[in-house]
Structure 1
Amino acid sequence: MELAAFQFDHARHRHTRGFRFLQLGWSDGNTFLPVTFSLLSGQNQVCGAKADARTHSGKRKLQAQRKAPEVVRELLVSSLSQGVQASYVLFNLWFSSPKMFRQLRRLKLQAVAMVKRSKKVYYRFNGQMMDVKAIFKAQKKRRGRSRYLLSVLVKAVVEGEASTPVTCIPGNLYQ
């Protein structure tokens, strides 16, 4: 099959041939309605394909070869232009980055996501660039309060652009 690639299955802990399924949906808290989707390929393709950007299938093939955060933005822009109304975007930590928060802010959307604990991603906190783990480590635990209830206002900084305010709430700090 064209563009099928070896994908890592996190449930089975092994590689399988196929695609990653990226789905965008709308929810009111009780109901989930699928809005659009994209099948994503990977680096280790089993069978490549030539894509003609003039056709619908060619556009899908080109989209399948782009990075997931770029495709998320495309799906959001497409859905918003077709009349889907949303104030918030909920996603997992795979997509949480200062760049993504900035792009969502440009679309006038708020994000709800667990923030990556990575030494490569930094946020501005008290005038210093710090990673998420260092930010929460710097916060003192308040007596009688769970550390999981802590939230911190930081700024997501993308080079060459104005900073974006982000409220960080810790995921699992202790792993």
Structure 2
Amino acid sequence: MLTLGWTDSFSFIPVDFALMNSAKKENRKQEINPNLDKRTSGYKRRLEAIESKLTVVSKLLDHALEKGIIADYVLMDTWFTQAPLIQEITSKGLYVIGMVKQLNQRYLLNGQKLTLDQLYQKAKPHMDKKEILCSVHVSLDNGIPTKILFVRNRNKRSEWLAILSTDTTLSNEEIVRIYGMRWDIEVSKSLLNLGKEFQGRSYDMLISHTTIVLPVIF
């Protein structure tokens, strides 16, 4: 389940969601019933479920913006903090703050394409290195300027985690503070007990149940 929520760091409001299947046909156990009325919300939801997750994230944001929801930042975990989606989101006039994985993605620094490990070696040390270790200003391959912040991994303190921000004017402390708000969405899922409250095999039942349990505003 993809969930879009809004927070001001005090309150959390679920805004929209999508229940996803695999975008690859070979990974799907069941296809859309060809007899399903194509005018129904159920059919449209099923089409949405087999789109790419990055496409659906963009559509959820468009839906929220069209309804007049105002936000400064889109907070994402490592699965979504990728250059194509970052470019899509920034084109909507929003900043991105998200955790990034140590993958093959390269970042441009002084004309060099570097990995996260290489950036960490070149990053400017933070004055208080207890939790925030260092940071560096770079660009993505698509030219978007970003700030990469390295923080200590609380679960394994000998390692670090990397947070990306397209708002390069923010201080290191502010990036950490804002990104910490993303945890509200995980807490809300846990408190609502969406994964354990009931069992069902009907996709329409899952959609209906989630709509009722999440106080979504659409």
Question: TM-score if structure 2 supplies the norm length?
Answer: 0.61
- 1:83 and 1:144, CA in 2 relative to 1: closer, same or farther beyond 3 A? closer
* Residue 106 (structure 1) shift: 0.5
Paired with 1:137 and 1:85, the residues of 2 have a C-alpha distance of: 38
Residue 80 (structure 1) aligned with residue 65 (structure 2): yes
Paired with 1:144 and 1:110, the residues of 2 have a C-alpha distance of: 26
Residue 134 (structure 1) aligned with residue 114 (structure 2): no
- 1:49 and 1:152, CA in 2 relative to 1: closer, same or farther beyond 3 A? same
Q: Which residue of 1 aligns with 2:107?
A: 123
Runs of 5+ unmatched residues, structure 2: 161-218
Q: Percent same amino acid among aligned pairs?
A: 30
**Superposition RMSD on alpha carbons, in Å?**
2.3
- Out of 112, 129, 139, the residue aligned to residue 155 of structure 1 is 139
Question: Which has the larger share of strand?
Answer: 1
1:120-150 Cα deviation digits (max 9, x unpaired): 2111112111122221123365786347331
Question: TM-score if structure 1 supplies the norm length?
Answer: 0.75
- Out of 96, 99, 108, the residue aligned to residue 81 of structure 2 is 96
SS in 1 for 2:150: coil
Q: Which residue of 2 aligns with 1:48?
A: 31
Contact 1:114 1:169 in 2 (8 A): no
1:39-77 Cα deviation digits (max 9, x unpaired): 001243222214776442222111111121111111001
Residue 25 (structure 1) aligned with residue 40 (structure 2): no
2:4 corresponds to which letter in structure 1?
L
* Residue 79 (structure 1) shift: 0.6
Contact 1:102 1:156 in 2 (8 A): no
Residue 167 (structure 1) aligned with residue 153 (structure 2): no
- 1:167 and 1:143, CA in 2 relative to 1: closer, same or farther beyond 3 A? closer
Paired with 1:31 and 1:139, the residues of 2 have a C-alpha distance of: 35
User: What does residue range 105-124 of structure 1 map to in structure 2 within 5 Å?
Assistant: 105-118=90-103, 120-124=104-108
Q: Which residue of 2 aligns with 1:39?
A: 19
1:63 corresponds to which letter in structure 2?
E
Contact 2:123 2:135 in 1 (8 A): no
- 1:73 and 1:142, CA in 2 relative to 1: closer, same or farther beyond 3 A? closer
Structure with bigger RCO (C-alpha 8 Å, 6+ apart): 2
Question: Which has the larger share of helix?
Answer: 2
* Residue 28 (structure 1) shift: 0.7
Paired with 2:124 and 2:80, the residues of 1 have a C-alpha distance of: 28
